[in-house]
């Protein structure tokens, strides 16, 4: 059997994550048992949530186990199958992790899903038509629930979640304003993704300055906000919220290294009778079919043109992941393995 290269979590970060927290190992692939499928990964997904799972502290998910392959979404091709629903050549999406191959028990519901690449490229099933896209859909549709004409905002607007959120919100008749880091990202958000405006947070030293820019971009205030970052960005948004604003909280990347994230004006939650709801999209599998159908249509018809940053080869995964945490990626961060 061929060797399988994999990256494991070797030790836990002390503060900021580094490449030394990871280790590459190789193992022979096991013989398939009945019901199992061997998948060769073409792309693996890098996502901010992985940083939180590297810590041992309590979170919404179990910590990544030391010595085990790093968790993560994958797309690829079935090489061999001992399950009647899958055959060699099928293109599939799953949670194969940071490795070249995975052996999947296909009897586990949701462990492996066949995908159609006729109109949607395979890699997009890890981004716009995958977990990030469904995350955007759930936060917008189920928590913010905007009406046509309302103003909605999103942090990390040029990323995999933010770009899908913008397309979904525009389809519902909203004014959509993004917050992103850098002139190039903001230009992409407006010119290619079709947002009404985008604010470069790097031009602002504090939340009051950022909030002034938001006031110009959102003259009618903010009715709904999708939060990926926390910290200064959330503080700035809260100053511009209207009464009965809704905030969907999906990520707090500003605090993933363990620094506390105090809130500057928590009284606004009461003053504006805000709804603030955190969520984990894997706890809402019932919405995935509806969300994926809409997202697939947006990509297939060109109404959502997601951008990708692609690192080459498994060995590049740690540095690409660390770059993602610092905002160095442009769009969805992937690692190409085949």
pLDDT digits (tens, 9 = 90+) for 259-299: 788 899 999 999 999 999 999 998 999 999 999 999 999 99
Return the half-sphere exposure (C-beta side, CA atoms, 13 A cut-off) of residue 46. 29
Q: Is 78 helix (H, G, I), strand (E, B) or coil?
A: strand
What 3-state DSSP class applies to 207? helix
Statement to judge: residues 158 and 212 lie in one domain: yes
Q: Is residue 328 part of a domain?
A: yes
Predicted TM-score (pTM) of the model is 0.91
Q: Say if residue 75 is in the same domain as residue 206.
A: no
Q: In the prediction, which pLDDT does 218 show?
A: 98
pLDDT score, position 238: 97
Angstrom distance (rounded) from CA 48 to CA 45: 10
Does residue 108 fall inside a structural domain? Answer: yes
Flag whether 322 is in a domain.
yes
Cα gap 98→43, rounded to integer Å: 10
* Strand partners of residue 222: 241
CA 35 to chain centre: 30
| Domain end position, chosen among 244, 266, 282 | 282
Which CATH number do you get for residue 108?
A: 3.90.180.10
Contacts for 299 with CB less than 8 Å, ≥ 6 apart:
119, 120, 124, 128, 129, 305, 306
Answer yes or no: is pLDDT of 256 > 90. no
User: Cα–Cα distance between 187 and 194 in angstroms, integer?
Assistant: 10
Q: At what angle do helices 131-138 and 288-300 cross, to 10 degrees?
A: 110
Asked if 12 and 55 count as a contact pair (C-beta separation under 8 A), the reply is yes
Residue in 253, 250, 320 with CA at minimum distance from that of residue 98: 320
Write the CATH number for 164.
Answer: 3.40.50.720
Same domain, 100 and 219: no
Looking at the fold, whether 272 and 141 belong to one and the same domain comes out as yes
Does the residue 301 lie in any domain? no
Only one residue has tokens 């995958």, namely 130
Token match 């999209």: residue? 281
Q: How many domains does the chain have?
A: 2
Q: Which pLDDT score, from 0 to 100, does residue 261 have?
A: 85
Same domain as 40, residue 151: no
In a domain, 199, yes or no: yes
Residues 142 and 119 in one domain: no
Give the pLDDT confidence score for residue 259 in this predicted structure.
Answer: 76
Please give the average per-residue pLDDT across 31-55, as a whole number: 95
Q: Enumerate helices (H) and strands (E) in the chain, giving the number of each.
A: 9, 15
* Distance, CA of 182 to CA of 201 (rounded, Å): 8
Is 135 found in the same domain as 58? no
Q: Answer yes or no: do 178 and 74 share one domain.
A: no
Asked if the structure places residue 196 within a domain, the reply is yes
pLDDT at 324 over 90: yes
CA distance 137 to 142: 8
Residue span of the structural domain in which 147 resides: 131-282
Residue 294 within a domain: no
**Residue 296 is assigned to a structural domain of this protein:** no
d(CA 162, CA 133) in angstroms, rounded, equals 9
Residues 114-157: tens digit of each pLDDT: 999 998 999 999 999 999 999 999 999 999 999 999 999 999 99
Alpha-carbon Rg for the chain, nearest whole angstrom, is 20
Spatial CA neighbour of 1 closest among 72, 73, 74, 79: 79
């Amino acid at each position: 059997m061929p060797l399988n290269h994999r990256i494991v979590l070797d030790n836990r970060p002390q503060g900021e994550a580094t490449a030394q927290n990871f280790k590459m190992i190789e193992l022979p692939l096991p013989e398939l048992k009945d019901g199992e499928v061997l998948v060769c990964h073409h792309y693996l997904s890098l996502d901010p949530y992985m940083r939180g799972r590297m810590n041992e502290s309590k979170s919404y998910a179990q910590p990544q186990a030391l010595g085990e392959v790093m968790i993560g979404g994958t797309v690829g091709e079935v090489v061999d199958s001992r399950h009647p629903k899958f055959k060699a050549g099928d293109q599939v999406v799953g949670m194969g992790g940071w490795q070249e191959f995975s052996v999947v028990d296909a009897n586990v519901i949701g462990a492996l899903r066949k995908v159609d690449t006729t109109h949607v490229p395979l890699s997009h099933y890890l981004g716009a038509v995958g977990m990030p896209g469904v995350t955007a859909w759930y936060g917008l549709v189920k928590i913010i629930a905007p009406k046509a004409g309302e103003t909605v905002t999103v942090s990390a607007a040029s990323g995999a979640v933010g770009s899908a959120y913008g397309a979904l919100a525009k389809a519902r008749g909203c004014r959509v304003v993004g917050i992103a880091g850098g002139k190039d990202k903001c230009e992409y958000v407006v010119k290619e993704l079709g947002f009404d405006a985008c604010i470069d947070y790097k031009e602002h030293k504090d939340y009051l300055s950022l909030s002034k820019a938001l006031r110009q971009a959102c003259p009618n205030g903010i009715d709904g906000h999708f939060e990926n970052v926390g910290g200064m960005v959330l503080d700035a948004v809260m100053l511009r919220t209207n009464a009965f604003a809704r905030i969907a909280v999906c990520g707090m990347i500003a605090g993933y290294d363990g620094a506390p994230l105090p809130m500057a004006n928590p009284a606004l939650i009461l003053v504006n009778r805000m709804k603030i709801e955190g969520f984990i999209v894997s706890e809402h599998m019932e919405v995935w079919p509806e969300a994926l159908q809409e997202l697939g249509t947006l990509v297939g018809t060109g109404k959502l043109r997601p951008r990708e940053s692609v690192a080459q080869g498994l060995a590049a995964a740690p540095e690409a992941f660390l770059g993602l945490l610092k905002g160095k990626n442009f769009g969805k961060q992937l690692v190409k393995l085949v």
